[in-house]
Every structure is written in structure tokens, then in C-alpha cells.
Structure 1
């Protein structure tokens, strides 16, 4: 049984009062306050000693699981790995250092039990076989709720099943194929905007991250809201500015996020921290903008046909969501829907710049199969079939998603006593699922697991494989698995195919500073800390 701190204090007060009443010769009544403080001090010390020493080292049912051979400190445990950059890299080191059969036990701050889910079998248990035994930790949901409301990512249990059921039609296989012309036309528009920007840049250097955010917001605007936000045409767009401010991968924001995991919300809100005010302003702006989108869409739907299949139209026609609920869903889909591919496109340009031979081979495949990029926008052209059939394009996209998962670290908390790979997991245990580590685990991907090798995704017949040579689908965690997997996986993959094909077809890329050491950072998502400055040279399509 777990007692709240207020209940414990009441219990101690009652204990002191009973002691004074029955043992007045031992506990004089005129010293009630002093003895109450003594009871609190003695029993509080005993409780702390039990929680910090006795339970974790002698009573915890998890203490016999494999644990890292080094790196633990008194009271801190391995808690500092939350601050390490790149996010997930410290967990990868734990995987390499620790022999295990699916779970690695380590201790967080104040010796709290933590588990790293290490093997495909354990991942399958947590994400699929017993997925509803595990939920996102309350402290993580409370933090993300500031930005995403109570959308699909924040709900659990029956509410999550209800929301996913009514949103899923917008992400059907057939619907994604119908969206390819949107993806391609926006990809071409991106290239045209970048070419115009380069006219004013004698050094031909641009930070690609800003343009990635613009184009992916435009795409999710059309697919999610049924309207062109026009970020590419308006570099001062309020939506872009607010999302870029929130998602900027600064050290301050990383500390802000980690502190939210360690302290209750009221403590963080009370701090005289300017970032608190900026978060309040930006999230307020985003809710206002989404509210305006909903009101505008409801007005337009009175005059539109019912064959519109954007996410907002589907939710409004279902009558299963209140206006506030729809705003929460839009906050979720605008953030997750653009950030996944924006991050992936940015990392794709980095990896291709660092591997010019891969870039050249990919460009050759694109030019050979797409002689005229503008022809693909025609209504009678099977653009989805074409892009999905290009083996090297799909191999490159898969390898980018493997090496740089948008969300490198995730967590689940056991909602009841359960098991993983036959090991007992007590209620309240925090488990870390780390796509960054699993996707780069040499035990799953081989000795070149941390190298950019698109060829791993192509089989002997020259076709794209589904697993990249790994033995299990659970070796690739970028989109997770099971009922809590990313609902927009097909959408993100299709969008990335189009963007990479168009951009590589139009530009020769190299790092602006070939000696720059790019550092992945971010709070929730993975982005380059100092941006992604590339030197871009337009190329003639087909030559």
C-alpha cells in the first residue's frame, strides 16, 4: 500500500497523540509539538533509509536482473543518462556493456528501479502482447499535455482505442496513395523556394532545418486540415515560428524537460524561469490557431462535398469529438505529423552530404526513373507506385529512419503487476524503450550497426527488404509497434520518399563546414543542436 505524504503526516500526528494519552509519564503533554517533530524525524529517517537502501538493494524483485557493470553513483544511480547527448546514446552503451536476456536493470535518481527493454522478445511483450499493462508515465503525459492537449498520444485504455478507431480511416493504405500528388507538389515547391533563396547566397549555404519545418507543416496542413497553410510562401508564418521555438534543441529546453521528470508540475510552474512564460505563450498561440482552423473548417464544410478525407473533415463528420477535443487532436497531428518527417528530411540531407557516393547513386536512380519531375503531378500518373518501386530511394529512407529515429527515447510505466519475458514486473516500474539504442544495437544489426549502409535494405534480387537484414521486426523501433504504434507511419514514409526524391534530384549537397561535428539534441525529438548548414548546388534534372 502507498500513502500520500499528507496521509503519512496525519498518521504520525495520530501516533504522537495516542502516545501522549496512554503514556503521559513518557511523553509529557506540554511537549507535544517537540515529540511530534521527533516522531517525524525518526520515522522519516527510517522511511528514507528503507527507500534508499533496504528496498532497492535487498528487497526489490528486480535487483537480480542483469545490471550495468559500472557508472552508478550513490543516490544518483545511472540517473545522469537522462542528461546525456545524443539522447539514447548512453542507453546504447548500456546495451553493449551488459549481457542480458531481454531486460537490463539500473537505478535512477534516489535508487529508483529502472529497466531498459533490450531484446525483440521483451519489446514485443511491452508494446504488443501486454501493451495495456503499460502506459506513458504520468509525469511525461503531464509535460506533453502542455503542448499536445489530450489528443491521441496522451490518452490511454478505452479512450485511446476509441480515438484511434475513429481517426484510423484518415491513415488507410488507400488514402495515403491518394495523397502522393500532394506530397510531390509540395516537394517541388520546396525545391523552387530553396533555389530562390540561393540566388541571394553567394556561398550557396542554407540551414535546411527551417525549410524542412515549412514544407512538412504545409503537407500536414493539406492532409490534416484540408487547407494550404502556405508556410513555404510565408517565411514569417506564425505556426512555423511557434513550432520552431518549442522544438529548438537547446540545452535549456533539455534541462527544462528533465526537471519536469524529477519534480511535480507545481514546483516547475512556481520557478521564476522565463521559459515558463514562453511555453505558456507559444502553447496558447498554437491552441488559438487550431481553434481558428476548426471554426473555419466547420464553416467551409457546409459548402463542401463530403468526399474530403483530411483528418479534420473525418473527425467533424464522425460527431465523436467535441470542438475542444478536435483542437487537442489537431495539436497532436500538427506537431507529430510535421516533426517526424521534418527531422527525418534534415537527417537525410546530413547523411547524404557525408556520403557523396550514396547521394550520387540515389540521384542516378531518381533521374533515370523520373525524367521530368513536373510530369508526376499529373492526375493520370501513378506516382505512388513509382516512388514505392525505387529500391535505392526506399533503402536510403529506411536507413535514415533507422539511424535517426524522431523520438530516440520513450518510456512506459507498469499499471499493474505483470511480467516481461517471464520476469515479474511490479506495478509502478518505469521501463525505457529506446529506438536510438535498439536501431543501432550491434547484436541485432551487425558490426556496422552504427554506419549508414542503405544496401542493408536491398536483397540479392535488388528489391527493398522489410527488415534490413535484422532477424526481427522489433529490431526497428522508429515507429514503435502494436496498438500504440505511430498511426501516421505510412503517411510519414510516403512523405519522406517524395521529399528526398525531389530534393536529391534537384540539389548536390555537401556540408557547409566539412569538419563540423553535428550534435543531435532536442528534448522529445532528435534534431541537430546548431542547425544543419548545407552548401547546395542546383543540378539539371536528368543530367
Structure 2
């Protein structure tokens, strides 16, 4: 019998004995229910985290609040930033512990050895916690690769690997470049329209590049991932393009804009979810909850339409039947048959739609922002020179994988951006059973925080200049190889059996889009907007990052 059960049982027995002769059955039931809830809250909020938890002796920050733990520090800042600070300032032997909202304890692995246990050695022991599978799964697909566990995850990953093979990605690069060219044409139209109306400043025209990057990556995952044309760039208006709220012309793009670009989830819902089941909270009349639910409904409806179109194409066209995109691979498998298989396939599509376009768009935003900083303009110029030298005849209509791979400085820059600005700064795991980590006992249900943002900036792993933007640090390794000894020192794509299956796809896509943008434009800072990054699904600046854009002569 657990300590929690024993305490609550004793309390209930005591009140039952004292009240059964004085009150009616209904009154006694309400008293017992109130007492049980009080005991449960007392146990969860105070007794367990402060007096009983076996991890309470681990080093960590002092609690900023008696009941709210370190939540006041974490809330409202960039995901991973507090963890990075604690790793730098609190001595530890591989694990830190802190308290989140309502004193929910979090264990933070800080060394490559501890991370290897979570991500590789015991990867199927540390599972996705309910808070992710119940809330985020509404957007990313509950039965997709991101959330399934154990043997189901192994089976799905093995099935999908052909769609992400190196040979297949090489064949997709011309498609990546084509969408990059389409994006730069749209941005060029914005610049010219603003210039003609007198809106160009000394440094160029101010453009919110995040909008165009998001539309481009959505088109890429549609055409290269599903063999389906969303035409999000084509349908987007160039008027008012610095306004992130503007409708794009694509209902799918608008749905993702609602989810990722219009603020974090309602904190009222977050607080209530720690007390009540999330299935109850989602039915409350909270504005943000309703917005996300409508957006998720749109995404699910669009994915069903894509699926129907793909089925029809595969049935009627021999050329389509030979396709090796993600959706074709799933449709050719016996795994996704029947109503349950089709539902699982839609969830898989939702996973890749969100993860496949939002993360790369976020990386593009950070790359353009970083290169536009005054201290990095020389890096931007050097990159542009490399791109122009590789294509001396002018803007290429198409490129090959090898041509992009040979742009070494481009590779260094994209790797360094991914290191310093991982799209997902923090993710969660939970001990699915009683286990140990780094020699410490963890009871079932213990929350584990993995912070790519903090690990990627670890002085112990990356040296004293870990916080600096230094593309040259990648010059010693092969393309895509981390400039750090351990595979667990660069966690942008995580690692181990549950590492990102699409990391080669994402890197190639990122390189093509950045080469297309920097080859065509010079980016600078307009100096009118303060950079604000808050905790959220992805680490995107609030309101985007408007930069000055000026066309350059190729070569």
C-alpha cells in the first residue's frame, strides 16, 4: 500500500467514524469527498515533493514560491533558458531537480551519460507523459510516430524509414529549391511593391520573413512529403506582408498560424489540467482552447482530403504507384488498412505536417535573424559569396543534392543555428515504471525534462564559447556531424531510437531555403522591435522577426 493511499484511508476512516451518527448519507459523502480532495492536494502539493520524494535530495534551484515552485521563473521566458542557467550555475553529477507548477517535480539530465540512459539505453522505459499525449496530440496526431510507444513505435519507424532514406532525400532537393525560389519571388514582389510606394528605408524594406518561411515549408511537406500541392505561397497576398495575422489564402496555413503564432495555450487551462483530467478541461469555454480545437479540426479535415486524393492517384496512375513519399509508403503497407488503419494514417500525416514544416520555418527565422545582426553581417556576406561562386551563371533554376552539400560554409551556419536555436527547447518524458537514472532511483511517474536548448549550450560539452555563434566550430566534422564528442551533446533532433526520423530531410530543406534567401537578399535589423521569446510549442519570437530586406545582384 502506498503512503498516499494510507494517509487518505486513515483520514477517511476518521471522519466516517465521527460523522456517521450525526449527518445524513449525502452530507457525509460530500464531507468525505471534500476531505479526500484536500488530502490528495496536500499530498501532491506539499508532502510528496517536499518530504517524501526519493529525488528531493538532488541539487537544484531554490523554489521561488511555496506552492508554485520554480514556475514563476520558467513561465514567460524562452523554453530551456532557465534550465541552461541552472546547468551553468548549480554543481551536479548528472541530474538536477526543480519544481514546476504546483510543485510538480522535474528531473533534468545534464550530462551525456545521463541523457544516453533516457534516450537510448532505456528509451522505451521513459515514455511520453499524459500531458503531451492528451493535449499536443490533438494537433500532432495521437497515434502518429511521435506518441506511440514500445513495439508499435518500432514497427512504425521501420515502415517509414524508406521515405527518409538518404537516396530518397537526394531526389527531393530540386523540389526544396523550387519552393525556395518561389518564396524569394514572393518576397521580391513585396520589396518592389513597398519601394514603388515609398516604403523603402535606407537599409531596405521591412518584411516579416517568418510568414514566408512558414508558407514555403508547408508547401514543401505537402509536395515532397505527401505528393500534394497546397499552393500556400501561390495563394498568399503580398499586400500587408509584415502582418503575421494576415490570412494566407490557405486554410491549412491559417490553422497552423492559429496554433503556433497566436500565443501560448491558455494558462487557465494549464492550471486546471494539473487538477482535473484534460478531457474535462477541453470542454470548458476557454477562448484559446476553442481556437486550437477549431484549428485542429481544420487540419484533420484537410489531411482526410489529401488522403482521399492520394488514394485516387495511386489507383489510377502507374507513375504515382512508384512514388516513395511518406503517404505513398503508408498506403502501400498492410499496416494501415481498415478504419483504424486510416485513422492512424491521418494521425501520422498530422504529425509530419506540423513537425515537418513548423520546425524548419522556425530554424529559418532564427537563421535570418542571426545573420542580420550587425556583428554577423560579415558572416552573411561570406555565405552569399560562397553561394554565388557555386552558381556563377546566375540564379539556378534547379540544384542537386551534391551542389548543396558542397556549400561547406552553408552547412556550418545551418548546424550552428540548429545548435543555438533548436526549434523545440524543452520536451518531456516520464518514467513508465520504477527505474533508475544515473544511479538514482526514480519511482513510476517521475517527470524527466530533456532540454535541447540547455544541452546545446552546455559549457561542459561545448567549451567556454558555448553561447557564441561560431559556424567555424563545425569545420572539423562531416556534414551533419556534431562538433562535440558525444552524440548526446547535440539534441536538436534528439538521439537514439526515438530521435527525429526526418533530420536528413530537415537539414537539406533548411540549406536549400537559406541558400535561396541569402543568395537573393541582404538582411539587416530594423531596430524597431524588441526580441521577445516565450515558452511555447516551438521557440518562435512573439510577433515574428521583421528584418530589412534588400535585393542583391547575383554574383
Supply the distance in 2 between the matched residues of 1:478 and 1:46 (Cα, whole angstroms): 41
Task: Determine the structure 2 residue equivalent to 1:198.
Answer: 191
1:455-470 paired onto structure 2 within 5 Å: 455-459=472-476, 466-468=481-483, 470=484
Instruction: Provide closer, same or farther for how the CA distance between residues 340 and 488 of structure 1 changes in structure 2, counting only shifts above 3 A.
Output: same
Question: Which residue matches 1:80?
Answer: 72
Matches within 5 A, 1:3-152: 19=17, 29-31=21-23, 49-68=42-61, 70-150=62-142, 151-152=144-145
Aligned ranges 1:358-437 → 2 under 5 Å? 358-372=379-393, 374-375=395-396, 377=398, 383-437=400-454
Question: What are the equivalent positions in structure 2 for 1:486-525 lying under 5 Å apart?
Answer: 486-511=500-525, 513-514=526-527, 516-521=529-534, 523-525=536-538
Q: 1:244 to 1:4 in 2, by over 3 A?
A: farther
Q: Distance in 1 between matches of 2:394 and 2:302?
A: 34
The residue aligned with 1:163 is 156
State the match for 2:469 in structure 1. Answer: 452
Give the drift of 1:53: 4.3
Cα deviation for residue 315 of structure 1 reads 0.6
Query: Cα deviation per residue 1:386-427 (whole Å; 9 max; x = unaligned)?
Result: 211222100000011011111111010000111112211111
- Quick check: 259-268 or 476-485, which moved more? 259-268
The residue that corresponds to 1:22 in the other structure is none
* 2:129/2:430 contact within 8 Å kept: yes
Distance 1:231 1:324, change over 3 A: same
Higher mean alpha-carbon deviation, 260-269 vs 221-230, is at: 260-269
Distance in 2, matches of 1:218 and 1:198, equals 22
Deviations 1:255-276 (Å, cap 9, x if unpaired)?
A: 3674475243244234332222
Match of residue 366 from structure 2: 347
SS in 2 for 1:447: coil
Aligned in 2, Cα 1:494/1:9: closer, same or farther, shift over 3 Å?
Answer: same
Partner of 2:351: 332
Say if 1:139 and 1:260, in contact at 8 Å, map to a contact too: no
Q: Give how far 1:41 is off.
A: 6.8
CA distance in 2, matches of 1:257, 1:473: 37
Cα distance change on mapping 1:193 and 1:465 into 2, 3 Å: closer
Q: How far is the alpha carbon of 1:442 from its aligned partner?
A: 1.9
1:273 partnered with 2:286: yes
- Deviation at 1:443? 2.1
TM-superposed deviation, 1:49 = 4.9
In the TM superposition, residue 82 of structure 1 has moved relative to its aligned partner by 3.9
Paired residues for 1:196-235 under 5 Å:
196-202=189-195, 203=200, 204-235=205-236
Name stretches of at least 5 consecutive residues in structure 1 with no aligned partner: 20-25
Give the 3-state SS of the residue equivalent to 2:329 in structure 1.
Answer: helix
Cα shift at 1:191 = 1.1
- Aligned length, in residue pairs: 524
Asked if structure 2 preserves the Cα contact closer than 8 Å seen for 1:253 and 1:522, the reply is no
Judging changes above 3 Å, is the alpha-carbon distance between structure 1 residues 317 and 232 closer, same or farther for their aligned structure 2 residues?
same
- What's the CA shift for 1:72? 3.4
Q: 1:374 to 1:314 in 2, by over 3 A?
A: farther
SS in 2 for 1:205: strand
For the structure 1 residues 448 and 302, does the alpha-carbon distance in structure 2 shift closer, same or farther, using more than 3 Å as the test? same
Is the CA contact (8 Å cut-off) linking 1:83 and 1:258 kept in structure 2?
Answer: no
**Residues 1:193 and 1:266: Cα distance change in structure 2 (over 3 Å):** same
Question: Does residue 1:188 correspond to 2:201, yes or no?
Answer: no
CA contact (8 A) 2:215 2:232 kept: yes
TM-superposed deviation, 1:539: 0.9
Deviates more, 1:133-142 or 1:383-392: 383-392
State whether residues 228 and 306 of structure 2, in contact with CA within 8 Å, keep that contact through their aligned partners in structure 1: no
How far 1:28 sits from its partner (Å)? 6.7
Contact 1:89 1:436 in 2 (8 A): yes
Contact 2:50 2:56 in 1 (8 A): yes
1:484 aligned to 2:498?
yes
Query: Contact 2:76/2:534 (CA < 8 Å) preserved in 1?
Result: no
Contact 1:186 1:218 in 2 (8 A): yes
CA RMSD of aligned residues (A): 2.7
Q: 2:310, 2:265 → 1: CA distance?
A: 34
Contact map agreement 2:395 2:554 (CA 8 A) in 1: no
Match of 1:23 in 2: none
Give the C-alpha shift of residue 116 in structure 1: 1.0
Please, which runs of 5 or more residues in structure 2 have no aligned partner?
Answer: 237-248
CA separation of 1:430 and 1:246: change in aligned 2, threshold 3 A: same
SS at match of 1:101: coil
**Displacement after TM superposition at 1:435 (Å):** 0.8
Q: How does 1:305-316 map to 2 (within 5 A)?
A: 305=318, 306-316=321-331
1:242-261 matched pairs, under 5 angstroms: 242-250=255-263, 252-253=264-265, 255=267, 258-259=270-271
Distance in 1 (alpha carbons) for counterparts of 2:364 and 2:125: 34
Per the TM alignment, residue 213 of structure 1 is displaced from its structure 2 partner at its CA by: 0.9
Indicate how the Cα distance of structure 1 residues 114 and 324 shifts in structure 2: closer, same or farther if over 3 A, else same.
same
Counterparts in 2 of 1:319 and 1:35: CA distance versus 1, 3 Å:
closer
Distance 1:527 1:30, change over 3 A: closer
Instruction: Return the offset for 1:147.
Output: 1.1
**Structure-2 separation of matches of 1:443 and 1:71:** 25
